[in-house]
A and B are shown apart, each in its own frame.
Chain A
Amino acid sequence: MTLQTDTAVPKQTMQRPRRKPLLSMAAEISGAAYLLIAICAFLLFIAGWFLATGLGVAKPIFLPSPLGVIAKLGKLAADGTLASDVGNSVYRIMVGFLIASIMALATAILIGAYRFWEAAIEPFLDFVRYMPVVAFVPLTILWSGTGDIQKFLIIWIGTYFQQALMFKDNIKRVPADFIGFGRTLGMSDLRVLMRIVLPSAMPQIWDTLRISLGWAWTWVTLAELVAANSGLGYRITVAQRYLQTDMAIGYILVLGVLGLATDQIMRLLGRHFFKYERKS
């Protein structure tokens, strides 16, 4: 039954297609060229930084040189400060994010599957979602002090409400006929949910997790900036207090790298888990 279509391929399509100019809209570029352009952008940024500090445009107290920042980071890494700060922040994110994600998924299933719970919960979630997370910082300190619990709480407030609505959307996008198919097999609602709906929605749910994990980095830093005695955000406020601009900048860079790294790990894991979506 399979059709053979490879019999008469016209000669012309075998030739290499003429390449469009680099800057025309939607022009294709190779993977290597992409990487090269990206690296150049980074180098340009660093060169600008060297130039600004080398020419004395900015005083070191406002903008230390890249080498100074790296030296400072090296020192902090050597004496263990950096590792302990990273460890504290990562721990807070892991716990806060995990709790938020599990609760959000449970909520999403409830409001995605039952109109009653949707009416009872969703408008309220929508309402809370529009309250700025930063506005909750003083309250959370009042409620739970300045320890880890308060950090979990801020991460939770910042991610749970968004996640619940996004997960719900992920679940709602499962085709109705998938559910119909399960029903015709005589599967119970719970079985359809566990064996068809959730696995179908999983690639999208994973994307939502990946996006919201990025936000969690912002929220943990925020919480640590305001009130903490450890963590990356805390170290940045210390740097400000003692005018250690090199440390503040170094830590901001570390946060950027950590965010990028977690995102890439999530992306690679996703590609591994959902291999079946690929064509070959």
Chain B
Amino acid sequence: MQAHPKLKISHLQKSFANGRSPVKVLDDINLEVGDNEFVSLVGASGCGKSTLLSIIAGLQDHEQGEMLVDGSPINGPGRDRGVVFQSYTLLPWLTALQNVEFALRETGHEAKDITEVARRHLDLVKLSRFADSFPSQLSGGMKQRVAIARALSYRPKMLLMDEPFGALDALTRGQMQELLMQIWQEHRLTVIFVTHDVEEAVYLSDRIFVMGLNPGRIKECIEVSSARPRPTGIQHDRETLELQARVLKSIREETRRVEFD
């Protein structure tokens, strides 16, 4: 890893209040993400992967630990970290184009470029034809594509994605993964991707952080060495399947350990 990771988290800890005794949800999280790296956070539900992403986004606070982006500490949300949420967050009264323009305007882009930049990003997610459609007229996959375009448009240093394809059907999900891969390939981005879909994580990531349960922590980091660009169908290669099995086993060990506690 380089001298200056894009993101460095050290000794992060987070608890939720629960009656008199707080429950520790994240314990001693340490991780580094390199520039232009694609990493995934996977784990059984309740491991705190979405909470961790939300803390990195600055939308939730934490008790202890430090987070550095490009070497400088972060506090609260900011334009350097774009977020794609699992739920659809397109503003319903704005068209697809206007949704991207909204983000550009609020992040202080020059008024005269806004429409052009927004159009270019809709083009990137192949939705130019739907620029003037309202979210209610778009399918779930299209909405998430606009959300990705919107998050990319103002050039954050990092893209944080919280199970962005979790609500989509399997076919659309596969298409979205390919599209994301292609954008990442062409534009070089740092992505932190939360998912519970092991196949998805192995297909997309450079590295996969498997999270443990009770309390949530980084259990292990698994490297995905397959070369890029990764062809469609690589999901069914023997090497990939073995890696998927390894990640799945690592997650299962945790759920089993907790069940017999």
Contacts and interface: CB of A to CB of B under 8 A. Distances in A.
Interface of A: 1, 3, 175, 177-178, 180-187, 191, 195-196, 199-200, 202, 274, 276-280
B137 interface: yes
Given A184-B77, A185-B106, A185-B107, A276 B136 contact: yes
Interface in B128-183: 134-137, 141, 145, 154, 171-172, 175, 179
Nearest to B57: A184
A244 to B, nearest CB: 51
B71 interface: no
A196 B137 CA distance: 20
Given A186-B77, A186-B78, A1 B107 contact: no
B97 to A, nearest CB: 13
Contacts of B82: 184
A180 B91 contact: no
B138 to A, nearest CB: 10
A3 B141 CA distance: 11
Contacts of B107: 185-186
B154 A185 contact: yes
A1 B92 contact: no
B83 interface: yes
Contact of B92 (A177, A184, A185, A200): A200
Contacts of B93: 199-200, 202, 274, 276
Given A186-B106, A200-B91, A3 B81 contact: no
A177 B136 contact: no
Contacts of B103: 185
Interface in B67-103: 76-79, 81-83, 85, 87, 89, 91-94, 103
Contacts of B134: 276
Contacts of A185: 79, 103, 106-107, 154
B241 interface: no
A196 B91 contact: yes
Contacts of B89: 175, 177-178, 180-181
B245 interface: no
Nearest to B130: A2
Contacts of B91: 178, 196, 199-200
